[in-house]
Structure 1
Amino acid sequence: MTNTIQHADFLIIGAGMAGASCAYFLAPHGSVILLEREDQPGYHTTGRSAALYIESYGNAAIRALNRAGKPFFLNPPKGFAQDPILTPRGSLTIAEADQVDALEAAYAEQAATIKGLEIVEGQRLLDLFPAIDPEKTVRGLYDPNDMDMDVHALHWGFIRGMRDKGGKLVTDADVRGLTRSPDGWSVETRAGTFTAPVVINAAGAWADEIGKMAGAKPIGLVPKRRTAFTFDPPEGLDPDKLPAVVNVNEDWYVKPEAGRFMGSPADETPSLPTDAQPEDLDLAIAVDRIENATTLKVGRFHSRWAGLRSFVSDKTPVVGFEPGLEGFFWLAGQGGYGIQTSAGLGMTSAALARGAALPEEVSSQGLKASDLALDRPALANAVYFTG
């Protein structure tokens, strides 16, 4: 640790997708330092995400953020990324005989707003995903609009863009203490001491712990473990030409991933903030569900991992200043939506952190700052999660 004191207009704690996107949109408006506790950004959650852009995914606030960021993803600024952020994939939600009513309800809810949404069965179902077991799966809901997201390109596009605008990334900067003085905030880390009038808490699963250091009230953040693995396809089946597949109950999914399949039990197991690792039981559950619903055989894992997705009670991000704690700003609770909301949430948090109104891209989608604020009713009785 050095004794150097560095100053900025904005200090952002956490260089995952949330912190990086906020830094990108803040950098044109003031000096930014992005602090990361690990030796590389995105280690705990962003780097373990295999994202789809699903415009209809999530609650009303999440869907508004999805829509607000879509133009950025489709047409990012020149030099932001070498390859497209979004590429066509499509998704197929499948149902067994006793799940058809749930599938029909999903179609009824989404059909009016999603162009091309299609109920499929029989040969059409097999054409879309030949590994469907027709003796079990009787109907599907196909959405051709869902797209793969290049998480690495997006994340580093934000970081690179921040740097190009004068921002700074500091790694190995685990926060040891936060203190408030009349001049602003002082953040002590193993990489040195940093000061700023505004501190943005984008620490992911650790956000409530950072808030506690600063003297803020908890927002009730609960990190939840999500397990995933990759495995080889059967001979003759090219995953890259197939849609992602999820059971209508959302208790497993399979997604093509670089010539292989990625599978998951779609678990949401509450966890303390930690370097999450896959549990043997979760892996076994996923394999059993996938092999029972399809003709795929997992065989052996090519890779396996787990990550934390952190939620508050209403599964809506918390974005705004802590009342009574001047200059302490929350950017937390993205849950399982952090990648696809990153552009919308980045421009939103950057505006609110500097005291500006929501950008037109966001407000035009019907989202209000109060929908994300700390004083919303859902957070009124939040407590610390203790495992």
Structure 2
Amino acid sequence: MRDFDIAIIGAGIAGASLAAEISAFKSVLLIEAEAQPGYHSTGRSAAFWDESYGGPSVQPLTTASGSFLANPAPQFHDGPLMHPRGALHLGTQGHQSLADALLSDFADSGVRFERLGRASIEQHVPGLLPDWISGLWEPDCCDIDVGGLHGAYLRQAKRHGIHLQCNARVQSVQWKAGCWHVSAAGMNWTADILVNAAGAWADEVAKMAQVRPLGIQPYRRTIAQLSVSPAAPVNLPLVIGLDGSFYFKPDSGGTLWLSPHDETPTVACDTAPEEIDVALAIDRLQQVVDWEIHRVEHKWAGLRSFAPDRKPVIGPDPKNAAFFWLAGQGGFGIQTAPATAKLAASMIVDTVVPPAGVNAIEYVPDRLH
């Protein structure tokens, strides 16, 4: 006997989006260790949709998610979940080869870029220091309403009758008698399929289930919210260093979100920002613009988790098809969530149509065994 068709561990954007997609067809248990879903990586996202972010292997999932985010069904969400921002990949004379490589990587993808010279760059970024003379403009980059998207997925899943159990850190997972036996917070359930959407904890869940871990490594990413003068323009694009050393974008009220684009290996945990990383971010910003920094209003850190080849892991484990991987989504889990959830659901429910333009073979866990 089993309690549910599907048990999903992790109610962040990965688990919530899949639950919403399959709960019309299957009974679903959604297990969350924290008091509320999305506490870790989902709730600490920099909240943008950028087709080139994550590289060519991630771009098909991002592109396939765009129309859903721009025009969701009325019953899913009232209005668009992303809004135009634009992205500027910014460099010095020494970064020309990096710009060329970025254009080459996406030459046949349909991602739109435009080369910009100094005069055009200054129209996007006031107060730019003299060294920054080259850029690639990516006009289709948008902000994402992360809270709105995550909440809409949870509401859809609940309308379909899922059981969401928060404050339930998984204590044991066992495969016996043809189903999974899951214990968490003194409760016990059974399910036919176990979905590992545990983010930074994905390999820990696999070990618990006696499934071979895939080497999914969490990394710390730092963001600081700064009060600056002049105030950050509301139409400032997402500005990304071509060398990968920073990105920044405006927040409401004229403040600035700034990251040193750090990836510090760490254990899975409730991570916190390090002062050295905040200082590094500010130092890098001061080498780009002449703005005065008044104070750090807020700072936080989140975890980004990657498989060894930095591609998402989506699909059944080759040794036990009842163990389904939905992990390794790095820092692009939000912007790829609609397509990723559709793809995962199509592997579990035959009647779900996979997203167009996405090759499932790119993401199956078999590649890592």
Name the TM-score, length of structure 2 as normaliser. 0.94
Q: Confirm or deny that 1:175 pairs with 2:166.
A: no
2: distance between equivalents of 1:328 and 1:358?
19
Q: Confirm or deny that 1:365 pairs with 2:357.
A: yes
Shift of 1:111: 5.9
Are the counterparts in 1 of residues 83 and 143 from structure 2 also a CA contact under 8 Å?
Answer: yes
Q: Deviations over 1:299-355 (max 9, x none)?
A: 31111000000001111111222233352111110111101110011011112134x
Summarize the Cα distance change of 1:211–1:240 in structure 2 as closer, same or farther, 3 Å threshold.
Answer: same
Shift of 1:168: 2.1
Shift of 1:298: 2.9
1: distance between equivalents of 2:120 and 2:363?
42
Aligned to 1:299: 294
Shift of 1:357: 7.9
Q: Deviations over 1:169-218 (max 9, x none)?
A: 11001001011221411110006212111110100000100110100001
Query: Equivalent of 2:99, from 80, 100, 103?
Result: 103
Summarize the Cα distance change of 1:231–1:112 in structure 2 as closer, same or farther, 3 Å threshold.
Answer: same
2: distance between equivalents of 1:311 and 1:273?
12
Q: Deviations over 1:62-99 (max 9, x none)?
A: 11111222221122121322342110000111111221
2: distance between equivalents of 1:305 and 1:170?
26
Letter in 2 for 1:64: P
2: distance between equivalents of 1:268 and 1:359?
35
Summarize the Cα distance change of 1:89–1:171 in structure 2 as closer, same or farther, 3 Å threshold.
Answer: same
1: distance between equivalents of 2:49 and 2:320?
36
Q: Confirm or deny that 1:226 pairs with 2:221.
A: yes
Are the counterparts in 1 of residues 228 and 295 from structure 2 also a CA contact under 8 Å?
Answer: no
2: distance between equivalents of 1:116 and 1:366?
19
Letter in 1 for 2:78: Q
2: distance between equivalents of 1:374 and 1:326?
11
After superposition, residues 1-387 of structure 1 pair within 5 angstroms as 7-110=3-106, 113-114=109-110, 117-133=113-129, 135-190=130-185, 192-235=187-230, 237-259=231-253, 260-354=255-349, 356=350, 359-361=353-355, 364-368=356-360, 370-376=361-367, 379-380=368-369
Are the counterparts in 2 of residues 265 and 286 from structure 1 also a CA contact under 8 Å?
Answer: yes
Letter in 2 for 1:367: N
Aligned to 1:383: none
Letter in 2 for 1:27: S
Letter in 2 for 1:16: G
Summarize the Cα distance change of 1:371–1:245 in structure 2 as closer, same or farther, 3 Å threshold.
Answer: same
1: distance between equivalents of 2:96 and 2:62?
28
Does the residue aligned with 1:186 lie in a helix, a strand or coil? strand
2: distance between equivalents of 1:41 and 1:372?
25
Are the counterparts in 2 of residues 239 and 257 from structure 1 also a CA contact under 8 Å?
Answer: no
Letter in 1 for 2:150: H
Summarize the Cα distance change of 1:160–1:281 in structure 2 as closer, same or farther, 3 Å threshold.
Answer: same
Shift of 1:238: 4.5
Letter in 1 for 2:188: T
Identical columns (%): 36
Shift of 1:107: 3.5
**Which consecutive unaligned segments of at least 5 residues does structure 2 have?**
none
2: distance between equivalents of 1:172 and 1:115?
41
Q: Deviations over 1:90-141 (max 9, x none)?
A: 01111112212322343454466557632222332111111321x1211121
Summarize the Cα distance change of 1:252–1:60 in structure 2 as closer, same or farther, 3 Å threshold.
Answer: closer
Does the residue aligned with 1:293 lie in a helix, a strand or coil? coil
Are the counterparts in 2 of residues 252 and 264 from structure 1 also a CA contact under 8 Å?
Answer: yes
Are the counterparts in 2 of residues 18 and 202 from structure 1 also a CA contact under 8 Å?
Answer: yes
**Which consecutive unaligned segments of at least 5 residues does structure 1 have?**
381-387
Q: Deviations over 1:46-67 (max 9, x none)?
A: 0000221112333443111112
Letter in 1 for 2:221: R
With 93-102 and 156-165 compared, the bigger mean Cα shift is at 93-102
Aligned to 1:384: none
Q: Deviations over 1:215-242 (max 9, x none)?
A: 000100100000001012313x453211
2: distance between equivalents of 1:357 and 1:168?
22
With 314-323 and 277-286 compared, the bigger mean Cα shift is at 314-323
Aligned residues: 368
Name the TM-score, length of structure 1 as normaliser. 0.90
Over the residues paired in the alignment, what is the CA RMSD in angstroms? 1.9
Does the residue aligned with 2:292 lie in a helix, a strand or coil? coil
Does the residue aligned with 1:335 lie in a helix, a strand or coil? coil
Summarize the Cα distance change of 1:124–1:360 in structure 2 as closer, same or farther, 3 Å threshold.
Answer: same
2: distance between equivalents of 1:269 and 1:7?
40
